[in-house]
Amino acid sequence: MAGPMKMRATLGSGYTDVRVLMTHPMATEQQTKGQPHFIQNLTVKLNGKTVIEGEISQAVSRNPVFSFRLKGGAKGDKIEVSWLDNKGDTNRTETAVA
């Protein structure tokens, strides 16, 4: 049901930049007359360890894009991003730092 996600993680000097795209309608309360549908929780894991836990709201636009800068990181490190929306739908993607 959940559409595709796409992520890229690139190594800088002493940090890792992560950019992730996700497909989601991000429909607000007002647009849907009381049936909002939006991503609520966002989790970023580095080699299986949670490094970011985010809560987002209806205010984020459709098909959102997030980017993070993580301290450290090395080539080949595994980054995993997952989301959970208010209807219980979820999706995840993972990539290796390049």
The least distance separating other proteins from the CB of residue 40, rounded to whole angstroms, comes to 19
Widest CA span in the chain: 48
Q: What residues make contact with other proteins under the rule CB under 8 A?
A: 3-6, 21-23, 25, 61-65, 67
Q: Which is nearer to other proteins, 4 or 48 (CB)?
A: 4
Q: How far is the CB of 67 from other proteins (least distance, A)?
A: 8
- By CB atoms closer than 10 A (0-12, 13-18, 19+), residue 83 is buried
Nearest to 93 by CA among 23, 6, 13: 6
- Minimum distance, C-beta of residue 97 to other proteins, in the bound complex (Å): 17
